[in-house]
């Protein structure tokens, strides 16, 4: 990554100076504390000036529709205080003049406004694009007093230059050779673009791609932090119940003891601590522990009660265990979907699925599905549980074939059948596709199961993308 430099900022400014001077600032938006969108209009044309003061990708450019979509802005219902301040002073005003401060990555816009007391005021909006010191500052040009900043800088952060309302605005201290850069960013980008492409477009495409990569990484990290603890908790519950079932797996033994004691009541071995009896099921003698306060008949009844209780507990525990296993499989698929997501839109679908946000993805589900053609057959691959659910509930018809890796997370693969049945090679290719789009690690062999869609069943209240199946076949890939 190459950062924005003074030469590139100067070239961008010179390229757009005719549009800047005299442009009306129609609308100010601040999607996050580090992003600003200024809607400007001049010469019968409207453009969106985008300012990013993120220390990693600080830059300024005119934003295209593609760049806006890639950056995936969400405009908050309640704008930040600094955004409200800028709207109060600058929205609807005209840029009188503009300049790039010599040898600095600072672009300044000058405005002349009339305040609430009908007084003329000369204001300056200073856009500082300087790494971790990047900032947007509004100050009075006559008094040099700062009206507001995107980020206040106190003495604990900088001993050279404090920035906050009421203080005097001064330029950053000079650094030797600040302007000397071997290859400016715009020169580097010119090698990748046609010479007719504007610097603004180059910057927009270059930084929007970087910004998308950062957004994807951050969203993935946040989703991992949300899902992984849930999976750990479910796995802990599964282990706990499994161990409990193993300890309490005595139902048949209690039933046997009750039957043997009932069959030997005639012996009148009452109020003893144990009795040795012949186990006619297993053809051997066994010793049965007894409650000395009870008769042989009462001990038999006690064991039958223990049998009933143990059986009921086991049945209830197995129901809970099955639900937990279903939840575990679902969460593993969510983690797989997060890991393999390649766009913000896919991660939005996962967020919506998990109830993290109400924000809807930009495109419909079918557009996001991976669609392939194999030997003349149309094949769909789901990228997450929501898309997998869409494949099962909307796309799949009875005679279509469904594929999934066995015992590991992965995508649902659907082979659409029209007039003819797929041959063995097509089935094998679909199995390879299911193997490829799964969490299975190379180079081990993995079982891929497949069956017709009519043999799939979605249990009531099951999570998205979860199905049970029957009449399946398996191929090792």
Same domain, 258 and 207: no
Distance CA 202, CA 200 (A): 5
Please tell me the pTM assigned to this model.
0.71
Same domain, 388 and 328: no
Share of the chain above pLDDT 90, in %: 55
Same domain, 200 and 158: yes
Which of 174, 197, 215 lies at the terminal end of a domain, its last residue?
215
Q: Is residue 221 part of a domain?
A: no
Same domain, 100 and 44: yes
Q: Say what the pLDDT of residue 165 is.
A: 93
CATH number, position 150: 2.30.310.10
Distance CA 200, CA 280 (A): 91
Residue (of 203, 161, 187) closest to 64 by Cα position: 203
pLDDT in tens, 115-170: 877 889 999 999 999 999 999 999 999 999 999 999 999 888 877 899 999 999 99
Q: Is residue 431 part of a domain?
A: yes
Same domain, 187 and 272: no
pLDDT band for position 363 (cuts 50, 70, 90) = low
pLDDT band for position 365 (cuts 50, 70, 90) = very low
Torsion of CA 183, 185, 187, 193, to 10 degrees: 140
| CA dist 471 → 401, 403, 462, 468 (Å) | 12, 13, 21, 11
> Which H or E run includes 214?
helix 199-247
Q: Say what the pLDDT of residue 72 is.
A: 78
Distance CA 201, CA 61 (A): 8
Q: Is the pLDDT of residue 231 over 90?
A: yes
Residue (of 467, 461, 465) closest to 384 by Cα position: 465
Domain limits for position 65? 6-215
Number of domains in the chain: 3
Q: Is residue 166 part of a domain?
A: yes
Q: Is residue 465 part of a domain?
A: yes
pLDDT band for position 248 (cuts 50, 70, 90) = low
Residues in the chain: 477
| Bridge partners of residue 24, in order along the sequence | 41, 94
pLDDT in tens, 39-57: 999 999 999 999 999 999 9
In sequence order, what DSSP letters do the residues of 68-127 get, joined into one string? Answer: HHHHT----SS--HHHHHHHHHHTT-BEEEEEE-TTSSEEEEEEEEE-TTS-EEEEEEEE
Q: Is residue 340 part of a domain?
A: no
pLDDT band for position 36 (cuts 50, 70, 90) = very high
Q: Is the pLDDT of residue 7 over 60?
A: yes
- Would you say 393 and 420 are in contact if contact means Cβ atoms under 8 Å apart? no
pLDDT in tens, 99-118: 999 999 999 999 999 887 78
Same domain, 289 and 381: no
pLDDT in tens, 391-403: 998 999 999 999 9
**Cis peptide upstream of residue 443 (ω within 30 degrees of 0):** yes
Q: Say what the pLDDT of residue 85 is.
A: 96
Tell me whether strands 284-289 and 35-42 are parallel, antiparallel or unpaired. unpaired
Q: Which residues contact 239 (CB under 8 A, 6 or more apart)?
A: none
Same domain, 268 and 129: no
Torsion of CA 324, 330, 335, 339, to 10 degrees: 160
Same domain, 22 and 85: yes
Same domain, 84 and 188: yes
**How many C-beta atoms lie closer than 10 Å to residue 91's C-beta?**
16
Q: Is residue 469 part of a domain?
A: yes
Tell me whether strands 456-457 and 120-128 are parallel, antiparallel or unpaired. unpaired
Q: Is residue 341 part of a domain?
A: no
């Amino acid at each position: 990554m190459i950062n924005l430099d003074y030469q590139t900022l100067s070239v961008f400014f010179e390229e757009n100076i005719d549009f800047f001077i005299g442009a009306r600032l129609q609308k100010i938006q601040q999607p996050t504390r580090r992003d600003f969108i200024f809607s400007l209009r001049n010469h019968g044309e409207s453009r969106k000036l985008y300012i990013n003061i993120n220390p990693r990708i600080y830059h300024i450019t005119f934003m295209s529709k593609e760049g806006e979509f890639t950056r995936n802005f969400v405009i908050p219902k309640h704008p930040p205080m600094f955004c409200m301040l800028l709207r109060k002073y600058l929205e609807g005003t005209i840029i009188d003049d503009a300049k790039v401060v010599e040898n600095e990555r600072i672009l300044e816009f000058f405005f002349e406004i009339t305040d609430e007391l009908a007084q003329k005021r000369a204001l300056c909006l200073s856009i500082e694009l300087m790494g971790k010191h990047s900032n947007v500052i509004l100050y009075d040009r006559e008094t040099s007093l700062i009206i507001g900043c995107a980020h206040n800088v106190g003495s604990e952060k900088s001993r050279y230059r404090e920035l906050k309302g009421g203080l005097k605005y001064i330029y950053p201290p000079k650094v030797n050779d600040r302007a000397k850069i071997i290859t400016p960013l715009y020169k580097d980008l010119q090698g990748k673009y046609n010479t007719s492409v504007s610097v603004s477009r180059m910057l927009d495409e270059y930084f929007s791609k970087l910004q998308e990569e950062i957004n994807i990484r951050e969203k993935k990290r946040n989703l991992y932090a949300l899902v992984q603890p849930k999976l750990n908790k479910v796995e802990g519950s599964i282990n706990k119940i499994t161990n409990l079932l193993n300890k309490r797996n005595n139902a048949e033994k209690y039933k046997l003891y009750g039957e043997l004691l009932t069959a030997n009541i005639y012996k009148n071995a009452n109020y003893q601590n144990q009795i040795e009896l012949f186990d006619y099921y297993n053809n051997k003698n066994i010793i049965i522990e007894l409650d000395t306060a009870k008769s042989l008949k009462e001990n038999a009844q006690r064991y039958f009660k223990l049998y009933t209780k143990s059986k009921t507990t086991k049945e209830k525990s197995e129901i809970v265990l099955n639900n937990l296993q279903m939840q575990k499989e679902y969460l593993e698929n969510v983690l797989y979907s997060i890991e393999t997501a390649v766009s913000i839109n896919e991660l939005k679908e996962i967020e919506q699925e998990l109830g993290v946000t109400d924000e809807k993805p930009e495109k419909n589900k079918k557009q996001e599905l991976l669609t392939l053609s194999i030997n003349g057959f149309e094949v769909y691959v789901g990228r997450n549980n929501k898309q997998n659910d869409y494949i099962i509930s909307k796309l799949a018809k009875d005679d279509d074939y469904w594929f999934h890796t066995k015992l590991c997370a992965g995508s649902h693969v659907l082979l659409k059948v029209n007039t003819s049945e797929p041959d063995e090679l097509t089935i094998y290719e679909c199995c390879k596709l299911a193997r490829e789009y799964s969490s299975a690690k190379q180079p081990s062999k993995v079982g891929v199961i497949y069956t017709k869609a009519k043999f799939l069943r979605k249990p009531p209240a099951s999570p998205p993308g979860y199905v049970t199946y029957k009449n399946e076949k398996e191929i090792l890939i």
